[in-house]
């Protein structure tokens, strides 16, 4: 996204002094490139985009128009998928909390529903008994050890026999079946070796449980690294694989298991990997002060806009200066760029080195994952989102800024 102070200033006049800019074409390119890597090795691969990572409807619609699944983990996200025209059969319903009614509707409508716990197995048993003529098919999320740093809470424990119990109970139903196995391992280990191990494990489990009939799908989940600047890369331990390297780690194993292209559908569920580099956050510089040895620039944004998950990574930030007004008040040297909240920790960037002046714009890059979906309306309502089309060179509003009324509309006043 080629930005300049003038472009940002024009956008400010139209949309206000802080906003997100979404690069939809970049998202489309990421989606195609990621999926193509897998399909070039194992053609029967499909992508389910993780809505919770960033559910801006324009992104979700783009996924749908390119043939992807909606991967949702709540009824709220399920409702969004339906609202933008995704048919239930193109929705994957995951996550640890599915209300009975929601889960039943999704199963009956033909969505892929991956169960997470025995309580959900019980709900499926109750449904199967209530509707004996109806075929009830679900998937199971598997929990196996990939790295030893933490014991995951999600899915059925393989080693302890829970997966086995769930599988047997479901296949014992006259009208029940297990269609596929799912795993999503959320760990700092996003290496290709880790993905190769996940794939190997899920293939082993598939071999064990689907002796007579091959599963409809194998779902390997998400958890891949996305594209990032060298600065950001250097803050992670180990090598950051690219899309093709992930595809080789996963799809080649599925291909060797099912060489003749009639194998199960391979599903991948990236969020971060395809969305993180498609959103920038822009905040105008509105105040400067020096307090003893500390230089401070106040922007119309907050740590909650850019790091709502509390990541300790140093984000990539650029300041677009208004060089036409060289007389503007400025600071130079090490400047802390702080936000509008009343919290001391609200610092978007510590010790920025360079000039920064009133009326400049601070642009934080790589904001696509867990920003707009995570930020509460703490102190200020949420800013607008503008979509940028790099082919047409056009900016369009895709979410207006929230108003005070929006924030308080659900309270009894």
Ligand X SMILES: Cc1ncc(COP(=O)(O)O)c(C=O)c1O
Shortest distance (Å) from residue 273 CB to ligand X: 5
Q: Is 267 among the residues that bind ligand X (CB under 6 A)?
A: no
Quick check: 367 and 270 in contact, CB under 8 A? no
The mark string for 88-117 relative to ligand X (x by CB under 6 A, - otherwise) is: ------x-----------------------
**Toward ligand X, which CB reaches closer, 215 or 339?**
215
Query: Which residue stretch of 118-126, 162-170, 215-223, 348-356 sits at the interface with ligand X (rule: CB under 6 A)?
Result: 215-223
Shortest distance (Å) from residue 32 CB to ligand X: 17
Among 155, 176, 222, 263, binds ligand X (CB under 6 A): 222
Among 184, 197, 375, 399, binds ligand X (CB under 6 A): 184
Shortest distance (Å) from residue 341 CB to ligand X: 26
Number of residues that bind ligand X (CB under 6 A): 16
Q: Is 195 among the residues that bind ligand X (CB under 6 A)?
A: no
**Toward ligand X, which CB reaches closer, 203 or 273?**
273
**Toward ligand X, which CB reaches closer, 222 or 384?**
222
Q: Is 301 among the residues that bind ligand X (CB under 6 A)?
A: no
**Toward ligand X, which CB reaches closer, 20 or 224?**
224
**Toward ligand X, which CB reaches closer, 19 or 195?**
195
Q: Which of residues 164-183 bind ligand X (CB under 6 A)?
A: none
Among 215, 223, 263, 264, binds ligand X (CB under 6 A): 223
**Toward ligand X, which CB reaches closer, 38 or 349?**
38
Shortest distance (Å) from residue 184 CB to ligand X: 4
Q: Is 221 among the residues that bind ligand X (CB under 6 A)?
A: yes
Q: Which of residues 24-53 bind ligand X (CB under 6 A)?
A: 50, 53
Which stretches of the chain bind ligand X, using CB under 6 A? 50, 53, 71, 73, 94, 184, 186, 221-224, 269-273
């Amino acid at each position: 996204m080629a930005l300049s102070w003038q472009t940002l200033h024009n956008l400010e006049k139209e949309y206000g002094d802080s906003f997100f800019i979404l690069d939809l074409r970049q998202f489309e390119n990421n989606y195609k490139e990621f999926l193509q890597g897998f399909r070039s090795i194992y053609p029967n691969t499909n992508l389910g985009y993780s809505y919770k990572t960033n559910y801006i409807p324009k992104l979700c619609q783009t996924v749908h128009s390119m043939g992807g699944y909606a991967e949702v983990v709540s009824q709220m996200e399920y409702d969004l998928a339906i609202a933008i025209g995704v048919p239930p059969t193109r929705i994957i319903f995951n996550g640890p909390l599915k209300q009975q009614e929601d889960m039943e509707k999704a199963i009956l409508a033909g969505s892929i529903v991956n169960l997470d716990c025995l309580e959900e197995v019980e709900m499926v048993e109750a449904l199967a008994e209530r509707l004996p003529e109806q075929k009830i098919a679900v998937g199971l999320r598997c929990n196996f050890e990939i790295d030893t740093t933490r014991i995951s809470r999600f899915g059925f424990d393989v080693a302890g026999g829970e997966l086995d119990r769930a599988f047997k109970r479901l296949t014992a139903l006259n009208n029940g079946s297990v269609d596929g196995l799912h795993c999503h391992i959320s760990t700092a280990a996003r290496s290709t070796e880790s993905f190769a191990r996940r794939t190997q494990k899920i293939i082993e489990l598939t071999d064990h449980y689907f002796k007579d009939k091959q599963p409809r799908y194998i779902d390997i989940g998400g958890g891949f690294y996305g594209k990032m600047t060298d600065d950001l890369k250097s803050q992670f331990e180990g090598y950051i694989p690219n899309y093709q390297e992930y595809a080789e780690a996963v799809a080649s194993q599925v291909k060797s298991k099912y060489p003749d292209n009639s194998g199960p559908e391979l599903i991948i569920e990236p969020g971060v990997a395809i969305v993180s580099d498609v959103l920038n956050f822009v905040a105008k510089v509105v105040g400067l002060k020096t307090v003893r040895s500390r230089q401070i620039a106040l922007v119309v944004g907050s740590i909650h806009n850019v790091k709502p998950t509390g990541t300790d990574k140093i984000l990539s930030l650029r300041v677009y200066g208004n060089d036409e007004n060289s007389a503007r008040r400025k600071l130079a040297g090490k400047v802390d760029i702080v936000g509008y909240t009343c919290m001391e920790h609200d610092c978007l960037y510590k010790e920025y080195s360079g000039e920064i002046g009133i009326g400049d714009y601070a642009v934080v890059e790589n904001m696509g994952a867990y920003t707009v979906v995570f930020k509460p309306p703490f102190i200020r309502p949420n800013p607008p989102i503008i979509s940028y089309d790099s082919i047409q060179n056009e900016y369009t509003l895709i979410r207006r800024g929230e108003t005070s009324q929006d924030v308080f509309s659900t309270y009894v006043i």
